[in-house]
Structure 1
Amino acid sequence: MAVARIAGSGGLRVATDYSGKSDLQSGPRKPALARADRLRVVLVDDDTARSAFVTQALLALGHDVVARLSASEDLLTAVRRVRPDVILVDMDNPARDVLDNCAAVTLQVPRPIVFFARDADPDTISQAVRAGVSAYIVDGMAAHRLKPILDVAIARFREHQKLRNELDEMRTRLADRRDVERAKSLLAKLRRLDEAQAYALLRKSAMTRRVTIGEAARTVLAAAELLDADSGAREEN
């Protein structure tokens, strides 16, 4: 298993991957990427030689490997500490712990995750997708394929996050509408107001407290539940 060798002589660069293949790129070296284009990468790999190859391939593209972890290390803690742009996992057979770590990252600090593996089992791939993996590659890594794979994974991640944010916003709006209607009815009953007056009172409360009208409505509902509970306790005594 060969470790990557990036050499420059007469404008020729050779990168030998761990499968024994070579990528040849003629012409002068590319200039360093602008800071906005450089990626901060966390690499997860138990194979030292393979990890060295991937690191060199990323450096050749102008990216920064900000952490190299084994499969047993805490990925979530590392991501919180170094705040990478992308996570790259490379291993023969994805362990359950690794997929659980990916799922924890996706839930708490989402990042694009690229997974290189030799395991093409459909169940494993499904587990990886559920864990938030943006790209699952089963036919090995070659240096010349790394950039397009990263580009596609990041684009898919951003689109997924956009859809997720839109869904969260829709759920919030629906919850706000439901709670506002309940709070209006409650205020109208307690204060003997019509619907417009109850809404105006709720809106004024939100503006005074500098919160959304949905949050103001939930405060009213919570206070009403507390009063009902207190009243029930006194009646029992």
Structure 2
Amino acid sequence: MNGRIVIVDDEPITRMDIRGMLEAENYNVVAEAADGIEAIEVCKQHHPDLVIMDISMPLLDGLKASKKILAEKYAKAIILLTAYSDKENIEKAKKYGISGYLIKPIMEKSLTPMVEVAIATGTKTREYEVSLEKLTKKLSERKLIEKAKGIIMIEQNMSEDQAYQLLRDLSMNKRCPIAEIAEMFVVSDD
């Protein structure tokens, strides 16, 4: 299978047509939804690679649902479908991080390349987000360790190397990450 996809449209015929085109290209349609609220729920459950969603739907429109799905990382990418090409929706789509925008009626020759690119872009974006989260965590842990070293240096009258060695030794003896040990020194000093 080329990717896991959720189709969201209030028209069952449209969902059926899109499903047929996608399955012919070996994509796995994991769920369908008829409105934005259902879309959020099925994305929360399935975490698809891609959501193909109509903008104009009852209850919760596709733009608002997309914003929530992407913010919560329930899907890697979203392609919006619409019968109209209006600037306001395009601007909102860009602002929310939408990966593609197609005008109905959908043609297989335009859908398949858009799906392929959106899945690839969404996957790469998710990889960057995970890397950024790891780097941010490492940086905050490093800052915490540096702050703890400063506190230990002052309170214990130690050199920087001795303070760091104390943190390392405590980490090893307590079988606890050094950042957690450092946090204990910083919290107790606040």
The interval holding the TM-score normalised by the smaller chain is 0.7 to 0.9
1:51 to 15, 18, 21: 15
For residue 86 of structure 1, what is the amino acid of its counterpart? L
Consecutive unaligned residues in structure 1, runs of 5 or more: 1-36, 226-237
Pair 1:182-2:163 in alignment: no
- Percentage of pairs with the same residue: 25
Residue 124 of structure 2: which of 125, 134, 159 is its match? 159
CA deviation string 1:126-184 (max 9, x = no partner)? 32233332222236420122221111001111222233233333322332232222111
1: CA distance, partners of 2:155 / 2:142:
20
In the alignment, structure 1 residue 143 sits paired with structure 2 residue 108: yes
Q: In the superposition, relative to structure 1, how do residues 181 and 68 fare at CA in structure 2: closer, same or farther (>3 Å)?
A: same
Counterpart residue type for residue 51 of structure 1:
R
Structure 1's 96 and 209: CA in aligned 2 closer, same or farther, altered over 3 A? farther
Match of 1:221 in 2: 186
Amino acid of the residue matched to residue 179 of structure 1? L
Structure 2 gap segments, 5+ residues each = none
Q: Residue in 1 aligned with 2:44?
A: 80
Is 1:204 equivalent to 2:183 in the alignment? no
- The 1-side partners of 2:40 and 2:170 are apart by 40
1 CA distance for matches of 2:88 and 2:183?
Answer: 42
Structure 1 outlier segments of 4+, above 6 Å: 93-96
Asked if structure 2 preserves the Cα contact closer than 8 Å seen for 1:100 and 1:131, the reply is: no
Q: Of 51, 54, 64, which residue of structure 2 is paired with 1:100?
A: 64
> When you count helix as a share of all residues, which structure comes out higher?
2
When normalised by structure 1's length, the TM-score is: 0.68
Residue 39 (structure 1) aligns with? 3
Higher relative contact order, chain-length normalized (CA < 8 Å, sep 6+): 2
| Structure with greater Cα Rg | 1
Q: CA 1:139–1:210 in 2, change beyond 3 Å: closer, same or farther? A: farther
Count residues with an aligned counterpart. Answer: 189
TM-score (norm 2): 0.83
CA RMSD, aligned part only?
Answer: 2.6
In structure 2, which of residues 22, 25, 29 is the aligned counterpart of residue 65 of structure 1? 29
Compared CA separation, residues 206 and 134, structure 1 to 2 (3 A): farther
Specify the SS of the correspondent of 1:141.
coil
1:93 is displaced (CA, Å) by 7.6
Name the aligned partner's letter for residue 159 of structure 2.
Answer: D
